[in-house]
Structure 1
């Protein structure tokens, strides 16, 4: 394709953007365990790469923190590392051309940090937020808002109007290269899918700059975990050149072109394993993106401080190496084989992953899944795991026994099974793996469970919608109070309904509660909106969340490079003056942008949020006893000739190419 950068190209450094890309750092993961420093060690290595290669800025794709409200120790360590590697007196070599009041209107300090007269920023960091560090509580404040106030991170892409999305780009210039950076922080996948389907997601483009290299950063499901719960990779606007995809933890650092689309997708994955699945066992990399005019080149760099992780699978029935002894119990024979396999295969594989870096943790993570069919094949995993308590970081969860059911082997490839979530939910909800639809989402499994005839009346005061929405808040945001609050809220609503009736006996109360539940179930869509509004309300009392659950389920040389002219399509496996620029004065004074770019026409979008405070009400125990996908935009216009002012044009106002 045209505009590519070849490996042999000798481009002037003052014209080439160098951008370090990473995502899903999950700082603070397993903070109180023996793995508590892993995320910080690897994050420091990432920042060191930025310093070593003198990148212009660092671009993060969300989930910088693992918890919605990280501990003070986690925030302190993060700030200390950013201060150590990103602050300095070395001048920046590029200009910021956008109106900061428009780009950072959600921030307290509406400016880009390297133009702040109170700061000396050597390597700016730009980041969106993910589902783990999603803002919540009064004012919708999140951890990235705190980092933004300190000036250590440029927080962009935050969107609070959930009825329509309009994204304006951050415009940069370095020499003859222009860069437009779009970012969309995490929005619940179902909601974003609906907005895309309704044509309410718009990308704004300036008509003042020609030949812009367009980058898009997002943090959403890439894999189809459920219907309308992902962003189809082929449905992004075709004017993008490069897409940085966050949220999915499998490292797919090599850029991938989707079909005949113009853009290339890069999925760096998470540098720290937050779930013991196959996708997390892929070697971890970050990338350095070089952009010259409209071409790019991606260098991948293998991370050397990642804890070794080996994922493997044994199928008892199909394994000819398991020798059955006539005088030995079958379970003991299998246990002996598994022990030998861990010791001589998995531990050796883990040892091969040691890079020699003194900061790399040496105790590996192991996950061995053993599939069996008969009960006599089961063995005591706890006894075996205790043998490795001093040799493996996750000694209490090395082995997972999974029972294979009839017909299961025909439908599931063992090597593609990434997590034990399905097995856990199957057991918890009593679902059969022969039923292929139940396990697309946990919420879908819950709906199916309570749809059964003998279980329809098990939920009386708490609604099914309330239960699923609280579960979503707990998993995605680490909101450990979601269940308590929604129960209290729906108890209050039930009490209000009961109080409106004249009742005398316990039986009458039970009948009225049943009546209220039936009315509520018949207005499911309205109730869903009410529940979401309550759980996202800024008036909910804020309490410290418990540790977050991570259910991300995804499917080399440092000098190796990847150009966008030799990519192969693959499927799925989760202003100041320019510093150092010719013509720029020395020092850290503000550059005078071209007259045609000095002012911006902003797009004002209101996002009011109203809610009422739920009051705590006691309820007597007796009263409780009864009972087709479309793209964001099909076509976009090319940049227009420069006029006196840069005007952002929405895709909805444009003509087709």
Structure 2
């Protein structure tokens, strides 16, 4: 009986708050330690190891030390690109770590009329691993459509298909807008399908396929992820035992911190009464040492939303012993001042919704922009958020940003932006 650990969506470097950044890394370290204690023969990270393809160097340094520790323990680590790891025009940190011998990137296409894939064979167990990386927009579906599925299905042995995409048939209802790939485009008959990209855990059994598994995000990269943590969503990784087939995957919970979810509905209250109601509500919670996710919603009868002082509420919770306080006021409004209501706390969905609404009001003749404009805008925004790399001067940074923009927009500006 062999064992492997299946992680995904670590998103190291996503959190900006110092304590949350530390918890993010602690979750990563705890998962690796737990896997070692369970005597795994290898590990799989199904994309988005980092939150950016050029992450903060301190984050890279800490992650490299942990990954090297696993490798020196005799446990190989197999990875693919996630949508945050990948850059078509620049070397990713994943490539650098592979060059340093810390990890093994297993996506190796074979050119031809159909897209073939080489298998990486794990030396100890004989497991054969292949798959596709995450891409932006509709490129993932295009790659899946080109796959030489017959050749992949004809391969013998214990096979793992590694991917970083949502599957249409298994998308949660509230994630209906998420781009996805139809299950019928996947090669059939593999013994295990190691997924990433979807931030919620799930294990699906479908006739003709081995277990199709998503570990979900290891800690959470967005406010919506952390709110789900506080509302009871468990995070962690899957431990999988196998011989000639995979046994039922075991979910291993990783909990670097306790969370507390507090929701206050102040509908019908004036701003002063609402503020006092929030104070009474938080006083009834034990927040000692916890990450507190406070959600304030409802329509005030009078007063301004700014009258509800978030800073003093945060100070109150911190004085009660809260480790981190995150306050969500997106659902708070007033009758006196008409505001655009924002119901999503998931940043990518919010961005996509705003772009889609703006595009709907424009007279666009370009069919590609009509069909993919929101996806292109979100991807362009993500690329523009990349920070200047250490040692990179201003002109090099600007050139890289322009090349990234060209790639997203499908343009060739000659690299000088003119």
TM range (shorter): 0.7 to 0.9
TM-score, with normalisation over the residues of structure 1? 0.51
| 1:475 positional shift | 2.1
Q: What do the CA deviations read for 1:420-471 (whole angstroms, capped 9, x no partner)?
A: 559966xxxxxxxxxxxxxx644322311434xxxx8xxxxxx998997354
The equivalent residue for 2:23 is: 38
Following superposition of structure 1 onto structure 2, how do residues 545-564 of structure 1 map, counting pairs within 5 Å? none
The equivalent residue for 2:382 is: 475
The equivalent residue for 2:71 is: 86
Aligned partner of 1:238 among 188, 195, 200: 188
Aligned partner of 1:217 among 162, 174, 182: 162
Once structures 1 and 2 are overlaid, which stretch shifts more, 149-158 or 57-66?
Answer: 149-158
Q: Compared with structure 1, are the counterparts of its residues 263 and 314 closer, same or farther at alpha carbon in structure 2 (3 Å cutoff)?
A: farther
Task: Confirm or deny that 1:386 pairs with 2:321.
Answer: no
Task: Confirm or deny that 1:372 pairs with 2:299.
Answer: yes
The DSSP-based 3-state class of the residue aligned with 2:414 is: coil
Task: Confirm or deny that 1:448 pairs with 2:399.
Answer: no
Q: What do the CA deviations read for 1:257-295 (whole angstroms, capped 9, x no partner)?
A: 24x453322211112222222444412122210011124
Q: Compared with structure 1, are the counterparts of its residues 309 and 343 closer, same or farther at alpha carbon in structure 2 (3 Å cutoff)?
A: same
Structure 1: gaps spanning 5 or more residues:
1-15, 89-121, 318-323, 352-361, 407-416, 426-439, 457-462, 490-527, 535-610, 618-657
Task: Confirm or deny: 8 A CA contact 1:381 1:399 kept in the other structure.
Answer: no
Task: Confirm or deny: 8 A CA contact 2:106 2:129 kept in the other structure.
Answer: no
| 1:144 positional shift | 0.7
The equivalent residue for 1:331 is: 271
The whole-number CA distance in structure 1 between the counterparts of 2:30 and 2:250 is: 16
Following superposition of structure 1 onto structure 2, how do residues 291-440 of structure 1 map, counting pairs within 5 Å? 291-305=242-256, 307-317=257-267, 330-345=270-285, 348=286, 362-372=289-299, 374-376=301-303, 378=305, 379-382=307-310, 383-389=312-318, 391-395=321-325, 397-403=326-332, 419=345, 421=347
The whole-number CA distance in structure 2 between the counterparts of 1:284 and 1:375 is: 41
The whole-number CA distance in structure 2 between the counterparts of 1:169 and 1:179 is: 9
| 1:404 positional shift | 7.7
| 1:19 positional shift | 0.2
Task: Confirm or deny: 8 A CA contact 1:220 1:247 kept in the other structure.
Answer: yes
TM-score, with normalisation over the residues of structure 2? 0.76
The equivalent residue for 1:11 is: none
| 1:63 positional shift | 0.9
Q: What do the CA deviations read for 1:51-92 (whole angstroms, capped 9, x no partner)?
A: 21221101111111122211221211111112223204xxxx
The whole-number CA distance in structure 2 between the counterparts of 1:373 and 1:232 is: 45
The equivalent residue for 2:340 is: none
Q: Compared with structure 1, are the counterparts of its residues 45 and 480 closer, same or farther at alpha carbon in structure 2 (3 Å cutoff)?
A: closer
The whole-number CA distance in structure 2 between the counterparts of 1:288 and 1:85 is: 16
Aligned partner of 1:614 among 376, 399, 415: 415
The whole-number CA distance in structure 2 between the counterparts of 1:375 and 1:234 is: 54
Aligned partner of 2:86 among 94, 119, 134: 134
Quick one: higher RCO (CA 8 Å, sep 6+), 1 or 2? 1
Task: Confirm or deny: 8 A CA contact 2:83 2:134 kept in the other structure.
Answer: yes
Task: Confirm or deny: 8 A CA contact 1:131 1:476 kept in the other structure.
Answer: no
Q: What do the CA deviations read for 1:574-621 (whole angstroms, capped 9, x no partner)?
A: xxxxxxxxxxxxxxxxxxxxxxxxxxxxxxxxxxxxx5623355xxxx
Query: What is the number of equivalent residue pairs in this alignment?
Result: 385
The whole-number CA distance in structure 2 between the counterparts of 1:268 and 1:488 is: 35
Q: Compared with structure 1, are the counterparts of its residues 79 and 442 closer, same or farther at alpha carbon in structure 2 (3 Å cutoff)?
A: same
The whole-number CA distance in structure 2 between the counterparts of 1:153 and 1:374 is: 57
Q: Compared with structure 1, are the counterparts of its residues 421 and 615 closer, same or farther at alpha carbon in structure 2 (3 Å cutoff)?
A: closer
Higher helix fraction: Structure 1 or Structure 2? 2
Task: Confirm or deny: 8 A CA contact 1:195 1:201 kept in the other structure.
Answer: yes
Aligned partner of 1:288 among 239, 254, 270: 239
Task: Confirm or deny: 8 A CA contact 2:43 2:77 kept in the other structure.
Answer: yes
Q: Compared with structure 1, are the counterparts of its residues 67 and 174 closer, same or farther at alpha carbon in structure 2 (3 Å cutoff)?
A: closer
Task: Confirm or deny: 8 A CA contact 1:17 1:290 kept in the other structure.
Answer: yes
The whole-number CA distance in structure 2 between the counterparts of 1:423 and 1:53 is: 37
The equivalent residue for 2:146 is: 200
Following superposition of structure 1 onto structure 2, how do residues 5-16 of structure 1 map, counting pairs within 5 Å? 16=1
The DSSP-based 3-state class of the residue aligned with 1:36 is: helix
